[in-house]
Amino acid sequence: MSTANPNSQALFERGLEVLVEGVSSASRGPAAFGTTPRYMSHGQGTRLFDVDGKEYIDWMMAFGALPLGHAHPAVVETVTREVARGTHFATALEVEVEVAEILCGLLDPVDKVRFANTGTEACMAAFRLARGLTGRRKIIKFEGHYHGWSDAVLLNTNPQAPTALGHRNAPVRIPDSSGILEEAWLDTLVVPWNDFQALERVMENHGREAACVVTEGVMANMGVIPPKAGYLNRMQELCRETGALFYLDETVTGFRLAPGGAAELYGLTPDIVTYGKALGGGFPMAAIGGRDEIMEGLEWGKVLHFGTHNAGRLALHATKAMLQTMLANDKAGFDRLAELGQKMTAEIQAIAAGCNRHGLICQGVNSMFQIFFTDLEEVADYRDFCGHVDRLKFRDFALRLFDKGIYMNPSATLHSLSSIVHSEDEIAITAQAIAEVLEEMP
């Protein structure tokens, strides 16, 4: 592998003097890369350009925040126009109402929204809302599902040694950080995902004590792990039976799997839903949504949610431009997003079928896909990932792809995805690079 990245190396050394790990999030630095990360200078369409002048086909797309790709004209023109009219007012805004109207018309489970800034913040507000509405304490979450870095739910989201996880009937709760007080997560129960029996058991024992059951529509922080047929629907039924609110966290899946996200794709009607990442079209933007009787819990601060930067006007204008672009021509953007992701997944699966020596599989749902080096035919849950996915081999694979002009994050826990500006030619180029790297790898 080439190490000729002197400008990135110089920036990394400077960054180590003034930034933790030389970056501002562990997923961008040596914790993910195992070495010097590539420092980027700009992006255009499907391409990223680093400070050493190298060009990459980008399949990370800012962890999914860019369904339109980099510097899409609709976003650039809108933000260029609006920045000259003021960056932020912290007042009520016309565009705030306009974007909310689009979302409530698009998302079947949503009558009203409240805007926030990040997925973590939206999730924190959603958990508080669930507890405030129900008067119940417990939260039921699933192994491997990430709902932000707040104390109550930062459990069992990092890969662990399989022996540390305990029995499936009584998983060991493992805080993912120092500094989390035990009192913060005492009322959080952790359950294996995609396991009907485990779900039935926890709901029988604790469903009537639970403020909510929270799930990702697709497990998206252990690569890409789809739900088993009927699993999410059964979860929703059990919530209705026990009075626990069904909370679908669409921070990752929203505006990426279908116009209505995982809720539309799997036929769900969640009580609470949160969005982030793709919603802002590259700007910090998140939202909490639900039916009128759910969202009224936030009225007059009954369940408190404040924020100086809530509903930032530049972010709202970018969100509006993204939504209008994706919804144009009978929602053609969403169709194209899914089509390209499915094609990329199929190309990788075809390569895997002809290259058995590496134990390669690829799992995907519409625009989302991830490669696993594993001895399994399918990675179905967190325990499969912890015990059977070779993360170091994936990192080596991704770093080798960099030198062929393909950018995928080298952490196996993350995933890749398409944008509407990717092309069939770029899929073919990427597939060829993947095949070459697999031949080169020991």
Q: Are 362 and 340 in contact (CB under 8 A)?
A: no
Q: Are 360 and 368 in contact (CB under 8 A)?
A: no
What CATH number does domain 73-324 carry, 3.40.640.10, 3.30.390.50, 3.40.1280.10, 3.40.50.300? 3.40.640.10
Burial class (CB in 10 A: 0-12, 13-18, 19+), 369: buried
What backbone torsions phi and psi does residue 54 show, to the nearest 5 degrees? -90, 145
CA distance 40 to 48: 7
**Mean pLDDT value across residues 388-417:** 97
Residues 68-97 pLDDT 10s = 999 999 999 999 999 999 999 999 999 999
Task: State the amino acid at position 383 in one-letter form.
Answer: R
Which range, of 188-202, 351-365, 392-406, averages the lowest pLDDT? 351-365
- Mean of all residue pLDDT scores within the chain: 96
Identify the pLDDT of residue 355: 80
Would the pTM count as exceeding 0.85?
A: yes
Query: Residue 1: pLDDT above 70?
Result: no
- 406-407 vs 55-58, strand pairing mode: parallel
CA distance 325 to 347: 27
Identify the pLDDT of residue 281: 95
Residues 276-297 pLDDT 10s = 999 999 999 999 999 999 999 9
Identify the pLDDT of residue 322: 98
Residues 135-162 pLDDT 10s = 999 999 999 999 999 999 999 999 999 9
Query: Residue 29: pLDDT above 50?
Result: yes
- The fold of the 6-71+332-440 domain, in CATH, is Aspartate Aminotransferase, domain 1 (3.90.1150)
CA distance 123 to 116: 10
Which range, of 249-258, 304-313, 361-370, averages the lowest pLDDT? 304-313
CA distance 350 to 406: 19
Query: Residue 225: pLDDT above 80?
Result: yes
CA distance 285 to 117: 5
Identify the pLDDT of residue 11: 96
Cα first-last separation, the chain: 13
- The domain segmentation of the chain, as residue ranges, is 6-71+332-440, 73-324
Identify the pLDDT of residue 2: 43
Identify the pLDDT of residue 3: 56
**Mean pLDDT value across residues 238-248:** 98
Identify the pLDDT of residue 357: 82
